Amino acid sequence: MAAEKPLTVVTCTAPVNIAVIKYWGKRDEELILPINSSLSVTLHQDQLKTTTTAAISRDFKEDQLWLNGEKADIGHPRLQSCLREMRRLARKRRGDGAGAAAPLSLAYKVHISSVNNFPTAAGLASSAAGYACLVYTLARLYGVEGELSEVARQGSGSACRSMFGGFVQWRMGERPDGRDSVAQQVVSETHWPELRVLVLVVSAEKKVVGSTAGMQTSVDTSPLLKHRAEAVVPERLTQMIQFIQQRDFEGFGQLTMKDSNQFHATCLDTFPPIFYLNDVSRRIIALVHRFNAHHGKIKAAYTFDAGPNAVIFTLEDTLDEFVEVVKCSFPPESNGGQFLKGLPAGPASLSGDLLSAVVLAPLPGTIRYILITQPGPGPQLLDNPSLHLLGADGLPHPSA
């Protein structure tokens, strides 16, 4: 029946994830196989998501791609890897007879349009959500089922973790062909309903070293990275899974901070050294440690990816107070912009003790805004045709 329509179109969304046991370094550049396993929290798509529409039609002359409404290069090798792999899986499925109902010609060209609902400036790994969304959308389009994280991994390593909701492990695997280097859900997004995630977006210089080039240099030059991957991470991964299963915030928070610091330590041990943390990041780190010291226990934990923005974990009962502490320490500039985005935070009055122990020398304007979110589900199919990013002509809507 779909073959009778001029256009077959599918739209899906996929989430961002933030690693708490970090991935840094590949053992195979081509297949994107990591030197250690990693573990992440999938963030809720109510706040952060990529939406992708893929369409096929006998009328399309060539594969085409639009990113955030702008025409983009579909020839990018990693994107081509994902497309090729998804078409291969679709052919395989058809050959197996399972796809007998799939009416689409695999020879048809595809149009893909993808948008993020968050600015690149947020410094979140948009490529993870982007490739997860691409692979999930193509799978729905071609009727492919089964293990998809392996395909997403070939677009962007961390994308494989965005194929699931909640808490997700990426097992490094052992096979040279990467078939066992896949993501796996540890627990779902409903497991720890009290957990909150804050993204502190820092006003910053542009990222100097991209993560792909950076991690390769680290693998080539850092003696400490090799030791971390072989001797430190395996034990940490086991511990982290236990902390999550037990909803042990102190254990989870402390190990999250340690692993973020160790990742940045291996960046500094790289030659030439790579710095992603800046002086504002350092101030946020010091603030979190003072906050925890004041409370005599770990009530907030930071983690930083390849940029200066902090991602903070805390629990629902601490959210309002911590947000107030951040507002006092990094007062918003009164430029009319919204300082708090995402989930609401209520008012909190800070005790004089807390203020004097934790809030030192405020730095106005150095944090642009705080986005509040929580763990969320994996990729979703959108049923509502009005949400397609491509029109009946197979092109992005003018408004996109």
Question: Which residues of the shown chain bind a second copy in the complex (CB under 8 A)?
Answer: 208, 223-224, 227-228, 231-232, 254, 257-258, 261-262, 264-266, 268-273, 275, 278-279, 282, 285-286, 289
Cα 45 off chain centre by: 11
Nearer to a second copy, 92 or 282 (CB): 282
> Minimum distance from CB of 269 to a second copy (Å)?
4
| Shortest distance, position 285 Cβ to a second copy, whole Å | 6
Nearer to a second copy, 200 or 285 (CB): 285
Nearest-5° angle of CA 365, CA 368, CA 349?
A: 75
Nearer to a second copy, 126 or 262 (CB): 262
What's the closest the beta carbon of residue 270 comes to a second copy, in angstroms? 8
Compute the least distance from the CB of residue 6 to a second copy, in Å. Answer: 53
Nearer to a second copy by Cβ, of 60 and 275: the residue is 275
Q: How many CA atoms lie within 13 A of 106 on its CB side?
A: 20
The structure tokens listed for 40 are 């992440």
Handedness of CA 31, 172, 160, 128 (dihedral sign): negative
Whole-number Å distance between alpha carbons of 349 and 354: 10
Confirm if 388 and 54 have CB atoms less than 8 A apart: no
Work out how close the CB of 246 gets to a second copy at its nearest, in angstroms, rounded to a whole number.
Answer: 21
Measured from the CB of residue 34, what is the shortest distance to a second copy in angstroms? 19
Q: What is the DSSP string of 115-127?
A: EESS-GGG---HH
Residue 81 vs 292, nearer CB to a second copy:
292
Q: Which residues contact 336 (CB under 8 A, 6 or more apart)?
A: none
CA-based max dimension of the chain? 71
- Which of 107, 231 has the CB closer to a second copy? 231
Beta-ladder partners of 195:
315
C-alpha–C-alpha distance, residues 164 and 184, integer Å: 7
